[in-house]
Amino acid sequence: MERIFVSELAEHIGEVVVLKGWIHKIKDLGKVSFITLRDKSGLVQVVVENSKIVDLKLENSVTVTGMATANSKAPEGIEIQNPDFTIMGKAYYEMLPFEVSGYKMKASLESQLDHRSISLRIPKARAVFKIQEEIVTAFRAYLKERMFSEIHTPKIISSSTEGGSEMFTVNYFDRRAFLAQSPQFYKQMMVGAGFERVYEIGHAYRAELHNTWRHLNEYVSLDVEMGFIEDEFDLMKLEEGFLNYLFQHLSKTCAKELRMHGIELPEKLDIPRIPLSEAQDILLEEFEKRSPVGNIDAEGEVLFSKYVKEKYDSDFVFLTKYPISKRPMYTMPDMDYPGMTKSFDLIYKGLEITTGGQRIHDYEMLKENIVKFGLVPEDFSFYLDSFKYGMPPHGGFAIGLERLTMKILNLTNIREATLLPRDMKRLEP
Amino acid sequence: MERIFVSELAEHIGEVVVLKGWIHKIKDLGKVSFITLRDKSGLVQVVVENSKIVDLKLENSVTVTGMATANSKAPEGIEIQNPDFTIMGKAYYEMLPFEVSGYKMKASLESQLDHRSISLRIPKARAVFKIQEEIVTAFRAYLKERMFSEIHTPKIISSSTEGGSEMFTVNYFDRRAFLAQSPQFYKQMMVGAGFERVYEIGHAYRAELHNTWRHLNEYVSLDVEMGFIEDEFDLMKLEEGFLNYLFQHLSKTCAKELRMHGIELPEKLDIPRIPLSEAQDILLEEFEKRSPVGNIDAEGEVLFSKYVKEKYDSDFVFLTKYPISKRPMYTMPDMDYPGMTKSFDLIYKGLEITTGGQRIHDYEMLKENIVKFGLVPEDFSFYLDSFKYGMPPHGGFAIGLERLTMKILNLTNIREATLLPRDMKRLEP
């Protein structure tokens, strides 16, 4: 008999079914026990005579053959009766590191991460990654519909994109190489190479010396680059469109998972665009908060999000027109606002989740700008050369996948939105 | 007016349209010129009076506004008349490194890779990556339909999966780390963590000292791992199902690109399963070819594929039952064939594109096997620990994306199927 998933049980009431999964919970009621079976798709109650469960232990993996029966008293209204159990995978532990089926997680985040193959058995913890998977699915579907191509670019690179700091070095045969901080140069080159519109879902590496709730040293970057744009507002429109599409998609595909986390997504996003300098003024006036030159800091992001939420009822805000000195050398200057660039950040619930902007596409202008930044054009030769052959106006942005996941679910630490996080202290598991 | 793509022109005959793209070819006919415009989606002829094209140069990026007109003499039956050109991106070269619009590519592969943002402008070269993208799309769609979850696992790891050789080292803060050769341990752990069925599309790194037509030091691995399997034949069935699905999908979505490469895909795949030892015997009998112990070499793969093609009319063949000594320590032994494992390779047109098999799922058995292999269980503690909690029977396989792409299209070098290849000598672009 074919195995079915718990989520398919409703279509099989009155039939003998085969289920596979793990022993999630055992509730001894004297003559019988209620055993909760957990598979990828959900939980179901199995009613067993106690004489039959001598060998069963929490977290054994098992095959259960039994009668799918409607019972309004059972969770979800279905239970399995007259079961036969076969143990598929033995459990060798004396005590679980922490409870998988409890109402509240008592273990520290560190302990959960140390025992990732246990902590992910908790349905609410695994739900985070169902939502993360659907974010990626929506990202692809939205862009593919708009003629974007998916690309895969190298993560081992010969030189740094934006100066040499904060990069991991790799011993590449007899040379020193780096792990890419972003696919920036490559996604631009692929626009010019004729793909016009590209996206990449790939790892990015930052050797930052920050061990905080919002930093990872290895993360998944959702990168977009688009040719033939008018200006950076085309990009904000594209990202806003994606976020609207995403929230619709999640409401459809992850209703159960969102409910587990107590999340209700807004129906329609209208994201305000506010120049950075204006945001800085508002912070000063409304919160007596001083900002660093040409940016706002982490505290400023939180306060400004609060302001935007009250004033515009929006969890998101685009900050626009960052100064030239605070953006990389490839950022397009804004001729209408001297000293400023056609770039933006997206802040979501007090956290920056995107940096983007229009790029310089003219070869001579880019070369001059590299010099203006005190850098040497020869150090960027393969990148710069690709601008000699009719590079169109273009720009793009990147979204940190784990940050977006964290903020959608109101998680407090980015590691909860990372299957196997890498930080300054953690290389395992 | 909204820009349309060349592929959408047929729906706009008789209308003034806006196109964007690059000047692919200029054919001067005296009073007028035929200019071929190239965008992401295709090529179209634009008829211009010569007085109007003084500024146009090959590979300028441009906006063209003109009348879409049916003309049976034009390629694809459509041309643009009365065009206005606006240059979007200037060209700064004196001479192109090589011709983009020629009938035959005359530049060496090295030169094409050096100038990747030029060589990818050649429609036939870019078609490779349209097909590659659709391979990935099909892989995801096929697995998602079967309840597999997409995961992203770390590429910076603390220890080697299968011995320490052929790994790149990374300087990770004050520690030495490695670039992952495969997500092997992690995908198994995620099966046990309750995902049951997972796949990953991610980079894998091999510091192999081979600079051949079929090796890359960084490649994209299509990884699958599945829980609650019966044996390795479940996995072969899954992979065969995927390949059938893929060929159907490519025939539908990439008809034009396959035609450009002169490829016709078979309608139905029936892949023979042949034990390795039998293949070795056949090689000896039919081709007087001796094989190394417990494997066949590259030449053997080519000869055996020839044999299979003649005998079974199949481009694919599964080789099964590799000996224990030739497989990693986590491979499930085959109790019915002493000394053998429940593992397989898939050979496609003379090249191995997959290694797979059932894994050991019992904690004690795995621990013993690690010792038998002369390794130290403590070195694998986080991996081994995850087997203590009811790990179900499971297995998986991995497909090299670039190898599969190369073989589908009969390319002669794997670098042609890689956007920006990394090999012993190449770290740029």
Q: Which domains does chain B have, with CATH numbers?
A: 6-95 (2.40.50.140), 123-417 (3.30.930.10)
Cβ–Cβ below 8 Å for A117 and B193: yes
- Which residue among A117, A193, A424 places its CB closest to the CB of B120? A193
Q: Quick one: what percent of chain B has pLDDT higher than 70?
A: 99
pLDDT-derived band of residue B160, with 50, 70 and 90 as boundaries?
Answer: low
Nearest to A218 among B150, B154, B207 (CB): B154
Instruction: Supply the DSSP symbol for A200.
Output: E
pLDDT of residue A280: 97
Minimum mean pLDDT range among B52-56, B128-132, B183-187, B230-234: B52-56
In this structure, what token pair is assigned to residue B106? 């005359």
pLDDT in tens, A122-181: 999 999 999 999 999 999 999 999 999 999 999 999 986 665 578 999 999 989 999 999
- Is A170 at the interface with chain B, CB within 8 A? yes
Contacting residues of A for B197, CB less than 8 Å apart: 40
Task: Kindly report the three-state secondary structure assignment for every residue of A295-311.
Answer: CCCHHHHHHHHHHHHHH
Judge: A130–B150 Cβ closer than 8 Å, yes or no: no
Q: What is the pLDDT of residue B163?
A: 58
Instruction: Label the pairing between strands B78-89 and B42-49.
Output: parallel
Any B CB within 8 A of A365 CB: no
pLDDT at position B161, please? Answer: 60
Name the helix (H) or strand (E) containing A397: strand A394-400
> How would residue B159 be classed by pLDDT, with cut points 50, 70 and 90?
confident
Confidence of residue B102 (pLDDT cuts 50, 70, 90): confident
Q: Nearest C-alpha of chain B: how many angstroms from A95?
A: 10
Give the mean pLDDT of B207-217.
Answer: 91
- In chain B, residues with a C-beta closer than 8 Å to the C-beta of A4 are none
Average pLDDT over residues A306-331: 97
Residues of A in contact with B152 (CB under 8 A): 203, 220, 401, 419
Mean pLDDT of chain A: 95
Distance CA A346, CA A351 (A): 8
Q: Which of B133, B389, B424 sits opposite A59 (nearest CB)?
A: B389
Q: Residue B398 in contact with residue B250, Cβ under 8 Å?
A: no
Which residues of chain B lie closer than 8 angstroms to A117, CB-CB? 189-190, 192-193, 385-386, 389
Q: Centre a 10 Å sphere on the Cβ of residue B164 and count the other Cβ atoms it contains.
A: 11
Query: What does the alpha-carbon distance between residue A324 and residue A331 come to, in Å, rounded to a whole number?
Result: 8
Chain A CB within 8 Å of residue B171 CB: yes
| Res A11: pLDDT | 97
Determine the Cα–Cα distance for residues B185 and B161; give it in Å rounded to an integer. 7
User: Which residue in this structure is represented by tokens 């211009």?
Assistant: B48
User: What is the pLDDT at residue B150?
Assistant: 98
Bridge partners of A356?
A344, A397
Q: What is the pLDDT of residue A162?
A: 61
Q: Are strands A197-205 and A149-150 parallel, antiparallel or unpaired?
A: parallel
> For residue A262, is pLDDT > 90?
yes
- pLDDT (tens digit per residue) in A28-54: 998 999 999 999 999 999 999 987 776
Interchain CB contact of A268 with B (< 8 Å): no
Give me B192's structure tokens.
Answer: 């046990």
CB pairs under 8 A between A and B: 260
Task: Give B397 to chain A, closest Cα distance, Å.
Answer: 20
At A285-299, the pLDDT tens digits run 999 999 999 999 999
Contacts of A1 in chain B (CB under 8 A): none
Q: Say if the Cβ atoms of B190 and A22 lie within 8 Å.
A: no
B220 touches A at CB < 8 Å: yes
CA Rg, chain B, in Å? 26
**Per-residue model confidence (pLDDT) at position A303:** 97
What pLDDT, on the 0 to 100 scale, is given for residue B162?
Answer: 61
CA distance A263 to chain B (A): 22
Q: ω into residue A429 within 30 of 0, thus cis?
A: yes
* Band of residue A104 on the pLDDT scale cut at 50, 70, 90: confident
pLDDT in tens, B339-381: 999 999 999 999 999 999 999 999 999 999 999 999 999 989 9
Q: What is the pLDDT of residues B49-82, one digit of tens each?
A: 987 776 889 999 999 999 999 999 999 899 999 9
Task: Report chain A residues whose CB lies below 8 A from the CB of B137.
Answer: 144, 150
- Residue B422: what are its φ and ψ, rounded to 5°? -115, 120
Interface check for A422 against chain B (CB to CB < 8 A): the answer is: yes
Q: How far apart are CA A258 and CA A336, in angstroms?
A: 44
- Residue A163: what pLDDT? 58
Model confidence pLDDT, tens digit, residues A201-248: 999 999 988 889 999 999 999 999 999 999 999 999 999 999 999 999
